[in-house]
Structure 1
Amino acid sequence: MKVLYIHTYYTEKGGEDVVFETEKVKMQLNGITVASVLFNNARYSLFKIILQPFNLLSYYRIIRKIKLFKPDLIHIHNLHFAASPAVVWAAVFCKVPVVMTLHNYRLICPSAILYHNGELFLDSLKGGFPWKAVIKKVYKDSFLLSFWLACSIRLHKALGTWKKVEKFILLTEFSKKIFLQSDIGILEKQMIVKANFVNNHESNAAIKKNNFIYVGRLSEEKGIDTIIQAFEKFSFNLIIIGSGPLQKEVDDFTARNNCVKYLGFQDRLVVQEALKSSSALLFPSKSFEGMPMTILEALANGTPVIASSLGSIPSIIQDQYNGMLFSPGNSHDLVTKIKLWITMDEEDKNHYYKNAYNTYQKKYSSEISADKMLKIYQKVIL
């Protein structure tokens, strides 16, 4: 079987980029002949957004690659912005079936995360032209850019672009529910739920230190402000890894709290070791996440997760089994859960560690994911 992967890298490398890379390698190891067409949003990003509705350069680039490689199917991860939905029509022109993984909600709303200005933003689910998203300037606080992306959304609904995709891969049942609630035009029979994965970890055996850890973007929607508010109330060991617009706030917080270490942006190996040795991961997101790789990495390292009870997270983290759940944005509730964890005896904590690793083994291992992906591919091409 020959599969052509299409992916657009983000300006700053993120979870979707990692998923694409690891999945492509895993499928190659499982006997799939793979090729890739890669795009990048890092340079000339405004120009690429302007071409987002239908990038003719991308269209012809994909047609040329299809003629050379002759794939059995195409698997798209991220097509925004440089690739554009034109790549779907290139596949249609060449009569090659398409599978597309939906990592976020950009097909529905210019915001992509259904969150804006400190709160969930669900108006784009209601159908019609997403004027409220435009008026609120949900993309980069720009009326024009939000309007342009909204136009692209409605254009491809009118063209029936998404009806041309054989299978959409949703990461969770929650994501599937959101897309079914929208009027984007994707049918339930086109959808299949398949979780992300992380590469195999042989054992969760590790010496856990008495510290919490946060790994992620330092931004309001990720909830780093909730962590700051919580740890202002008491002193306990915390490691923060990441970068983003709230970095100054994190620097100031670290300067006045001797128990907090801010390590900045770190590579994956450093993150792995930090997750493995930490007592618990804090994941305080206020927006609808797809399937956060940080959570899966924590579980694979036998590290429980204290996370906000929002969106797809409760389908991954089971309260009082492989972690704890707290009310999104509620620093008082987060403090309560942290204190519960701190005062828990080691025997009970060990149950959480084992349950975290068992969750990874049963649901998020690379073997389970590869087997399901192969079945999806086979179903599409038969």
Structure 2
Amino acid sequence: MRLLVINDVSVVLGGATKVAMQCIDAATAAGMDCTVLVGDDGEEVRRNFPQAKVEALCERPLRDGVQAGDVVERNYNRRAYAALDNLLAASDEETVVHVHGWSQILSPSIFHALSRHGARVIVTAHDFFLTCPNGGYLNFRSGEVCGHRPMSLGCLTSNCDKRNYLHKLWRVGRMLTQQSAGDEFWSRVEVILAHENMEPYLSGGALRHFLTLRSPCKPLTRGPAKAWRNDRMLFLGRMTWEKGVRTLAEALNKTGRPATLIGRGPLLKEMQSALPHCHVPGWLDDSEVDRLASESRFFVMPSRMPEPYGLVAAEAVMSGIPVIVSSNALIAEEVARNDAGLVFESGNADSLAEKIALMDNDDLVRHLSEGAYEYGKRIAPSNDEWRQRILDIYRGHTGASLH
């Protein structure tokens, strides 16, 4: 058996690429014949996994700036199609293909290449691009979770895009390209969900086979944090509107509480300007994140979109750091049920400010910290458990039928 891992980029800046690299690590450690197709230069894969074969397109992701040719290439990347078609031509019947990210560089052309071959295809749903044109089931104009059926008339006429309606139409065109790989192809694709609550967003169309495998994660800190002894809030993630950083900034200015916001993104400078009483350093290395996390009183995940999982929230919980999460987060209900944190109304700065103020209570923070640490033991599989599970999936031994 040969494993072919596909992802837009090789540099870990988000959860999808992090999991893709963990898949490569598990496969190569198990002695599998592993090939990786990436849209960027692939240097991070070559450096970290010298035993893996790498096919790299050396192209730029859309988030680094849109170029004129991207209108066509990011809808149907012919170089990506040709590269994948060639990789599959040798031994497609013995190949398992695991797709992670494709919306930034590789485009839906990869699914057309896959549809021509008999390789087994697995896609991990790190977001909702399998069904939703903008990938988030979020109306970026209203801030509300979208209730339209993807690609319905209501969806097509909704100006929900973060840029403009013309860009929404481009996304619709890309979705049509994706769907045109054919129902016969999509009905055989196996979808790994990062969280079980993602399934209602992805089912109902051509996709038929789902299983849940929560992504592995490790605590943000080396040991359980004494959160009730600390005084600073922590945010860790991309500085974008959909991640809720503007809501967070408004709530922090209402309360005047100190906070540390770590991350990169288009709103970084805006956050630095809007929060002069907070520490907003940009991106930091792991050791510095560890130090700042150990000094944190609680963690906030203010996402406006239906956050599929929220790895960093799970990492905080595993560290005994209570979390305040948006009601749109798919883990919100379990956070509240397990006394691991609080839930605020998505996009409502007053609601978030209220929850932040509650965290001044040392007894409450200690109760939630202890609840978080206990729940953290169950929130995700251990690294060893996850590695064994992903290898079993590759080998066709799922332990339970796809549903």
TM-score of Structure 1 vs Structure 2, range by shorter chain: 0.7 to 0.9
Q: Which moves more between the two structures, 216-225 or 166-175?
A: 216-225
1:153-168 to 2 correspondences below 5 Å: 153-158=175-180, 159-160=182-183, 163=186, 165-168=188-191
Rounded Cα–Cα distance in structure 1 between residues aligned with 2:389 and 2:11: 30
Give the whole-Å Cα distance in 1 for the aligned partners of 2:116 and 2:91: 15
Give the distance between the partners of 1:11 and 1:36, measured in 2 at CA.
Answer: 13
Q: In the superposition, relative to structure 1, how do residues 290 and 137 fare at CA in structure 2: closer, same or farther (>3 Å)?
A: closer
Distance of 2:185 and 2:288 partners within structure 1: 39
**The one of 79, 97, 102 aligned to 1:57:** 79
Q: Which runs of 5+ in 1 are unaligned?
A: none
1:82 to 1:339, Cα distance in 2 relative to 1, 3 A: closer
- Cα 1:26/1:140, change in 2 over 3 Å: farther
Opposite residue 211 of structure 1, the aligned amino acid is R
Tell me the equivalent position of 2:309.
291
1:303 and 1:356 in contact (8 A); partners too = yes
Distance 1:234 1:172, change over 3 A: same
SS at match of 2:372: helix
CA distance in 2: counterparts of 1:201 and 1:337, whole angstroms = 22
Residue 68 of structure 1 deviates from its aligned partner by 5.6
In the TM superposition, residue 202 of structure 1 has moved relative to its aligned partner by: 9.1
Query: Cα distance, 1:31 vs. partner?
Result: 4.6
Q: Aligned ranges for residues 196-345 of structure 1 at < 5 Å?
A: 196-199=215-218, 204-208=223-227, 209-255=230-276, 257=277, 260-319=278-337, 321-345=339-363
Letter of the 1:362 counterpart = R
Task: Give yes or no for contact 2:326–2:345 (8 Å, CA) kept in 1.
Answer: yes
Paired position in structure 2 for 1:360: 376
CA RMSD of aligned residues (A): 3.1
More helix by share: 1
- The equivalent residue for 1:78 is 101
TM-score normalised by structure 2 residue count: 0.80
Q: Which amino acid aligns with 2:196?
A: E
Partner amino acid, structure 2, of 1:20: A
Q: Which of 364, 389, 392 is residue 372 of structure 1 equivalent to? A: 389
The secondary structure found in structure 2 opposite 1:95 is coil
How far is the alpha carbon of 1:12 from its aligned partner?
Answer: 9.0
Of stretches 85-94 and 285-294 in structure 1, the one that deviates more from structure 2 is 85-94
**Within 2, Cα distance between the matches of 1:287 and 1:219?**
11
User: Aligned letter for 2:386?
Assistant: S
Q: Note if contact 2:221-2:291 (Cα within 8 Å) is conserved in structure 1.
A: no
1:204-231 deviations in Å (ceiling 9; x for gaps): 3345422111112223222222222222
Equivalent position of 2:199 in the other structure: 176
CA offset at residue 357 of structure 1? 3.3
- Call closer, same or farther: CA 1:327–1:11 in 2, change over 3 Å: same
1:132 aligns with 2:154: no
**Residues 363 and 377 (structure 1 numbering): CA distance in 2 closer, same or farther, change over 3 Å?**
farther
User: For the Cα contact (< 8 Å) 2:23–2:390, is it kept in 1?
Assistant: no
Partner of 2:173: 151
- Which one of the candidate residues 78, 98, 102 is aligned to 2:125? 102
Report how far residue 108 of structure 1 moved: 2.5
Q: How many residues align?
A: 370
Contact preservation (8 Å) 1:52, 1:82: yes
Alignment partners' CA distance in 2, 1:308 and 1:37? 35
AA aligned to 1:16 is A
What amino acid maps onto 2:248 in structure 1? I
Structure 2 partner of 1:8: 8
- Report how far residue 67 of structure 1 moved: 4.6
Residues of 2 paired with 1:277 and 1:300: CA distance? 15
Seen in structure 2, the aligned counterparts of structure 1 residues 283 and 137 have a Cα distance that, compared at 3 Å, is closer
Q: Residue type of the partner of 1:373?
A: I
The question of whether the paired residues in 2 share the 8 Å contact of 1:88 and 1:161 is answered with no
Q: Secondary structure at the match of 1:13?
A: coil
Deviation at 1:73, TM superposition (A): 0.3
